[in-house]
Amino acid sequence: MSEFNKKEQKVLAGLSASLEAFFKTYNEMTALQMRCFVMVARRGKVTGKEIAVALDISGSNVSRCVAILSDITMARRKAKPLDLVKLTNDPLDRRVRYVELTEKGKAFALSLTSNF
């Protein structure tokens, strides 16, 4: 195998630091929830269907992930909601709901990307 150059080593070190910060702060978050959070952080305002298609997961999995990442309190869930994303309705079509980062979610995404 070839050796990594300094730029690649820096990127890997940044990734490692980001993942460590992520799991240190939100150790109860699953990999799927993390993938949903990262997708919303990268794309901004997205629908549940867009998340489902991009991550190749079911709509019900997206709903559960968004509920946990948002401020929605679930009756059967023992842990508190993470309040990293929020749901907003489309002003022109009330059937469409968007998922976007809250201020807390933006701050957390910024802290993750500051390692790069």
Tokens matching residue 55: 């991550």
Q: What's this model's pTM, rounded to 2 decimal places?
A: 0.78
Contact status, residue 101 vs residue 42, Cβ threshold 8 Å: no
The residue that leads in pLDDT, 7 or 105, is 105
Instruction: Give 69-88 pLDDT, tens digit per residue.
Output: 988 766 566 667 789 999 99
Residues 80, 25, 29, 90, CA torsion sign:
positive
- What are the strands of the beta sheet with 97-101, ordered from one edge? 46-47, 97-101, 85-89
42: pLDDT strictly greater than 80: yes
Per-residue confidence (pLDDT) for residue 36, from 0 to 100: 93
Q: Which domains does the chain have, with CATH numbers?
A: 6-113 (1.10.10.10)
- Separation CA 95–CA 103 (nearest Å): 25
β-pairing, 97-101 with 46-47?
antiparallel
